[in-house]
Copies of this chain bind each other. A is one copy, B any other.
Amino acid sequence: MDTIKKLFTVTCSLYNKQQSHYASCNELVQACHRKLFAETKYAYFGDYKGSPILPYHVFGLTIKNLTVYSRPVRPDIFIADIDELVRSQNAFTSLLEKHPASWEAAEIELSNKVVYTSVMSISCAYDLWQRGSRKTPGTFFEVLMAGILKKMLPDAIFSKSIPLANLLHDEELNEANSDSGQDIQNEDDATGLSTDLVIALPDLPGGVVIPLKITTRERIVQPFAHQRILNSAFPDGRFQSVLVCISETQLDEKNKAVKQVTVPGTVQLFQKYLAKLNGIYYCDIPQRYAADSMQKIVPVKSVGQLFADLAKILLTHSTRK
């Protein structure tokens, strides 16, 4: 894992220094992928008993008769062959230089597979060899998506928070700031709404807010709450949000099965009574979110489709200039 941890550190440091880190992401993915296929057994684990039934694989690492499993992986969208993965990464990189609004089904599918395989390779490697670093897969997802989107939108401006300080620039907050004085540590991020990625276009107000979560769990409320604040603060609708996730699966070791943990009723409540997201994107779309009833309330699509949609949102956005 030392090589992998070092590659991860290098990638993050390039990202933080705003230097090109996309190639480094791909290299890290390949290192994890190679280690997984060299040292573990990739095999069928069990089904998600939906309609249709979906089989899932896992990476299993056996040490002294004890087998530890990675999170579940969908074999139909995970690229298991390393040569095919490298070819697909290269093809995807070339695609990013074409305008994604013109992508067709095959290109959308390829993109979805590359993102899924990339994030799952790192996640499964950390599941098996570095369980303590629980936050690393999520961080990598953010870093990778920033790399991809920067390649796709070279003129866009990327940031990690929305400056809302000016919204609070009234007497009260100024007072609060002086209250806190020099002797009290300022642990508070009062100056912005912290999110994962915000993409803006030059000379245009607002932008697209992209919370990135491998799975949402109880944090599903955050993107809706943030969008609500943005709507209140900027009633002209200059900010829009898309939630981007990998999957909502959970290994059920006892029953040798896989669960998809979903809350469609809650999502519908949030979309209806909190704020509207422009869309929710998954590499492995949970079946209950793919249902027509859900799609009428909020579009749920593949991450491959996200790239095409983002190009469109930002285009519509720029006509507002």
Judged by a CB distance under 8 angstroms, whether A176 is at the interface is yes
Contact with B along A180-203 (1 / 0, CB 8 A): 110111011111010000000000
CB contacts (< 8 Å) of A287 on chain B: these are 184
Judged by a CB distance under 8 angstroms, whether A221 is at the interface is yes
How many copies of this chain does one complex carry? 2
CB contacts (< 8 Å) of A67 on chain B: these are none
Judged by a CB distance under 8 angstroms, whether A168 is at the interface is yes
Q: Does the CB pair B264–A176 fall under 8 Å?
A: yes
Judged by a CB distance under 8 angstroms, whether A294 is at the interface is yes
User: In the bound complex, what is the Cα–Cα distance between A179 and B221 (angstroms)?
Assistant: 24
CB distance from A223 to the nearest CB of B (A): 11
Which of B51, B262, B272 makes the CB contact (< 8 A) with A183? Answer: B51
User: In the bound complex, what is the Cα–Cα distance between A228 and B271 (angstroms)?
Assistant: 12
Judged by a CB distance under 8 angstroms, whether A4 is at the interface is no
Interface residues of A in 50-82 (CB under 8 A from B): 50-51
Q: A181-B51, A269-B164 are in contact. Are A264 and B190 (CB under 8 A)?
A: yes
Judged by a CB distance under 8 angstroms, whether A204 is at the interface is no
Interface residues of A in 38-52 (CB under 8 A from B): 49-51
Judged by a CB distance under 8 angstroms, whether A239 is at the interface is no
CB distance from A241 to the nearest CB of B (A): 14
Which of B224, B229, B259, B262 makes the CB contact (< 8 A) with A270? Answer: B229
User: Which residue in chain B gives the minimum CB-CB distance to A261?
Assistant: B187
Q: Does the CB pair A168–B274 fall under 8 Å?
A: no
User: Which residue in chain B gives the minimum CB-CB distance to A287?
Assistant: B184
- Knowing that A189-B266, A190-B263 are A-B contacts, what are 7 other residue pairs whose CB atoms are under 8 Å apart, sorted by A's residue number? A179-B292, A188-B263, A189-B263, A191-B265, A225-B228, A225-B274, A229-B270
